[in-house]
Structure 1
C-alpha cells in the first residue's frame, strides 16, 4: 500500500522560456493623485506571512484560445479586479509609523503581468506532479525594469509548443490565504468571460480580525514562539528558519484505499482506547486527520538524533477560522484567516501508542481552535509579535479545489505550489484528476536529508500494513 514516485532524474531541467512582454497593471487610484486611499489594515495573522508564494496552473491546448487571446483575456480580467474589489493587489507594503504596524498602501507599483513562451511541449516536461525546480521559470518573482517597490503580485502566462500553457502566480502571502486565493481565481476566471459577474464579492474588512483592546490572552500557546521585535521589523520575513542542508525531494502517494485503510485502523482501536481512558467523545476520523497523523509518525521517528524516543515532537497544521469565530467571518473574507493548530507527543508514544490515540491528538488540536482560542491567539500576536513554532508544518493544498475553477478555455489539468528548500514544511496536494475521477488520493511531498528520507519512506510503508 502506498506508492513512491521516482526521483525523476531525467526530468527536463530547462524549460527554455523566453519573455515577450512585461507590463504593470496600475490601479486607477494610482493614476489620480488627488485621491489618498485609506491603507489596508493587516491583522496579526497577515503580518507574519510576509513572503511570496508561487503557484503554477497547467492548461491543455484549446484551439479557440491561443496564447494571445488568453493573455488579453487575463490582462483585461486583472484590470477589472484591481479597479475596486482587489485594489490592494496593486499596492505596496508600508509601515504606519504612528501605530508601528505594516499596512498595504493601495496606490502602489501595480500588478505585474508577463507573457512568455517555452521552446518545448508540455509532454516534454514529464510528470507534472514531480516538483521540478524548473517550474521557477514559469513565474517571474521580480520585474527588473521596476524601480523601487516590487509588485506584491505578478502573473505570468507561458505557452508551450503543443498549444498548452501555464498560468504562474507569485503573490505575497499577506494578500491571500488558500481559501481567499481560490475565491480570487474564481473571480479572475469569471472576469475572463465576456459578460459574467464576480463569482464572489470579496470582504476586504481585515479589522474583523483585529486584536481586542486590551489584548486578552486566555490560553497558553505552545504552538507560537515569542519574539520581541523592534518597531518596523514586522515587515521582515518571519518564516520558519530554513537550514541550509542537502535535501532530497520525494513524493509519496496515498491512494483512496490507503486513506480508507488509515481510517479503519483508527476506528478499530477506538473502542478499546475509550474504555481504557474513560473517554466518552469519539475523535473526528477525517481524511486529513489520519493522513496528518500518519505523516507525523513517519517524520518524527525518522529523525537522526540521539535518544529520539524521549524527544517531544510537535506537528503544526493550519485551521481555517472563518466558521469557528462568533460571529463567523464571511466565507468571502479576502485576507488570511488561518491559525496553526498543534499536537505534541513523545516519539516513544508515536511509535507504540494506538493509532486512534494519535489521531485523537490531531483531532483535538483542530477542535481546540474555537472562537475563544482563536481570539486569544490573535491577541497573543499583538503582545509578542511571534510566529508558529513546531517541528514541522503540514501545508495542505489537497482540497482547495484550484482545479475546479472554470475559465473560458476550461479547467486546469494540474495546479501546485512551486516547492522550495524546506524540511520543516510537508506539502499535501491532489493527484492529476482524470476526466471521470473525483478523488485520486493525495500526494505527500517531503524534502529531507538522505538518511532521514530513507527512514521516512520505510516507515511510510510499514504503517500502511
Structure 2
C-alpha cells in the first residue's frame, strides 16, 4: 500500500542564515529588438510568479564562485534567444490586454551564501518554509518587477542552490524545461542553444469572431477586466488552518492501480496511464473526505492540465514558448465516486483529457476572449512529476533534486517526483487539508490501495 512520507526526525532549520552578497540586473549579451509580445488568453490569466529550486552537490571542478560566473554569463547569453526575460509586463489600454514589452530592462541576478552545508539543511523533498530564503521573494530588491530572477546560494560544503522565480506568463512546464536546457547549454564553453524557442504566441490567438462551441464548466467568468487587478488568484486562496502531508506511491503501487483498472473494465478508448490512475485515486479520496452533510449528493470536479501542442490543428511546434496547456476536467457526484468500480473513475479522467480536441481547445481560448476568466473546479492536480527538471545536464552535473517552492493550498494537490527524478517512476503527492478532512483522506488513500 502507499506510504506516508516520513517527516524528518530532526526539526527543520528555520533560518538558513542566508547572506546576500550581490543583487543586480543583468542584460542580454547582444542588443535585442524593442517590441511588444502578444499574450494569448491562456497566458493572460497567469500573472503570478512560479518559484523552482534546483539543488546541486559539490563539484571540485566547479567551486561556487565559478558557478556564479558561468550562470551569470549563461543567463546573459540565453536572453538573446529569450529576449522577453529582460522585458516587463504592460497593459495595452487600447485592447485591455497584457503584453510583454521587450525593452531590455533586465533580469534579476542574486548571489548569496548560507552558513550551512547542503546535508545540514536536511530532507530536500519535505517542504521547508526556510527554502523561501533561496529564492528572491516579492522581487523587492529591484525598483521595478523583473519577469525573471535567478538566485545562486552557495553552501559551505561547495554545493549550491539555484532558485528561479519566473512569471508564469513566460512559460508552462514544458517550455520552462526547454529554457533550463538552453540555460545549461550556455553555461558550457562552446555549446549552441539546445532548442530554439518559438515565440509566436499568435498561434494560440482567439478566432475572429470568437466561436464558443462547447459549454465550459471548468471555467469561471471574471468580473474585472484582465489587467485591472494584479495577481488575482487562479483559485480562491482562503486562509485556513491546514494539515499537510506527503503521500508516496511506489512504482508497485501505481502498477497495482493500473492492473486493478484493467481487471475491472474493457473500454478500448480509456487510457490506463500512471497519471490517470493516480489522478483517479487522488480525486476519489479528496472528494469523499469533504466534511459536509449529504456529501454523497455533492458534485465534485477535478481539474488537471493538458498540453495542447499536439492537439491543435495545425499542431504547435514542441518548442512553442508560452503557455500551451488548458484545464481538462472530470466531474461526478460523490456517491458515484464511492460506489463505482475504480475503472469507471479512471475512464472519467481519461475522457476529460480526450475531450481536449482541436475544436474544444479553440472553443476554450475563444471563451476567454468573450468572458475572461479562470479555471474553476473543486481542486486542481498540478503535476511536476515527469517534467524532468533534474535531468538537465549542466557543466557541473545534474541537480540532486529539483522542485517547486511549495505553498499549502487546499485547492491544489501537487504531484512531484521522488529524489532520483522521473526515472524512479514513483510519485509524491502533497496534500493540504483541514485536520478532520486530512484524517479521512489518509484513511481512504490506504483503503483504496488494498
TM-score range, shorter chain: over 0.9
Matches within 5 A, 1:444-463: 444-463=429-448
How far did 1:63 drift?
0.5
Residues in 2 aligned to 1:50 and 1:447: alpha-carbon distance in whole angstroms: 24
Deviations 1:424-456 (A, max 9, x none): 00110110018xx93240000111111111111
Contact preservation (8 Å) 1:7, 1:249: no
Residue 242 (structure 2) pairs with residue 241 (structure 1): no
How far did 1:422 drift?
0.9
Contact preservation (8 Å) 1:318, 1:340: yes
* Aligned residue number for residue 49 of structure 1: 46
Partner residue of 1:391 out of 378, 388, 408: 378
Partner residue of 1:110 out of 106, 120, 123: 106
Residues in 2 aligned to 1:444 and 1:243: alpha-carbon distance in whole angstroms: 21
How far did 1:389 drift?
0.2
How far did 1:28 drift?
6.7
Contact preservation (8 Å) 1:27, 1:107: no
Give the alignment's TM-score, normalised by structure 1. Answer: 0.94
Matches within 5 A, 1:47-446: 47-83=44-80, 85-107=81-103, 109-147=105-143, 149-230=144-225, 232-233=227-228, 235-271=230-266, 281-433=268-420, 438-446=423-431
Residue 36 (structure 2) pairs with residue 39 (structure 1): yes
Deviations 1:107-134 (A, max 9, x none): 1531000111111111112111001111
* Aligned residue number for residue 15 of structure 2: 14
Residues in 1 aligned to 2:224 and 2:268: alpha-carbon distance in whole angstroms: 42
Residues in 2 aligned to 1:28 and 1:124: alpha-carbon distance in whole angstroms: 37
The structure-2 alpha-carbon separation of the partners of 1:243 and 1:63, relative to structure 1 and needing over 3 Å to count, comes to same
Aligned pair count reads: 449
Residues in 1 aligned to 2:104 and 2:77: alpha-carbon distance in whole angstroms: 17
Residues in 1 aligned to 2:241 and 2:196: alpha-carbon distance in whole angstroms: 45
Residues in 1 aligned to 2:403 and 2:139: alpha-carbon distance in whole angstroms: 23
SS of alignment partner, residue 149 of structure 2? strand
Deviations 1:262-313 (A, max 9, x none): 0011011104xxxxxxxx5441000000000000011111111111110000
SS of alignment partner, residue 146 of structure 1? coil
Residues in 2 aligned to 1:202 and 1:354: alpha-carbon distance in whole angstroms: 44
Unaligned runs of 5+ in 1: 272-279
Deviates more, 1:169-178 or 1:20-29: 20-29
How far did 1:143 drift?
4.3
Residues in 2 aligned to 1:413 and 1:144: alpha-carbon distance in whole angstroms: 29
The structure-2 alpha-carbon separation of the partners of 1:249 and 1:231, relative to structure 1 and needing over 3 Å to count, comes to closer
Residues in 2 aligned to 1:282 and 1:335: alpha-carbon distance in whole angstroms: 30
Residues in 2 aligned to 1:438 and 1:144: alpha-carbon distance in whole angstroms: 37
Residues in 1 aligned to 2:409 and 2:226: alpha-carbon distance in whole angstroms: 28
RMSD: 1.6
Contact preservation (8 Å) 2:29, 2:77: no
Contact preservation (8 Å) 1:76, 1:192: yes
How far did 1:402 drift?
0.5
Contact preservation (8 Å) 2:98, 2:226: no
How far did 1:141 drift?
2.4
Unaligned runs of 5+ in 2: none
Residue 30 (structure 2) pairs with residue 26 (structure 1): no
Residues in 1 aligned to 2:427 and 2:333: alpha-carbon distance in whole angstroms: 27
Residues in 1 aligned to 2:319 and 2:225: alpha-carbon distance in whole angstroms: 34
Contact preservation (8 Å) 1:113, 1:154: yes
Deviations 1:238-283 (A, max 9, x none): 4211010011221100000000000011011104xxxxxxxx5441
How far did 1:144 drift?
4.0
Contact preservation (8 Å) 2:303, 2:381: yes
Residues in 1 aligned to 2:141 and 2:407: alpha-carbon distance in whole angstroms: 26
Contact preservation (8 Å) 1:322, 1:329: yes
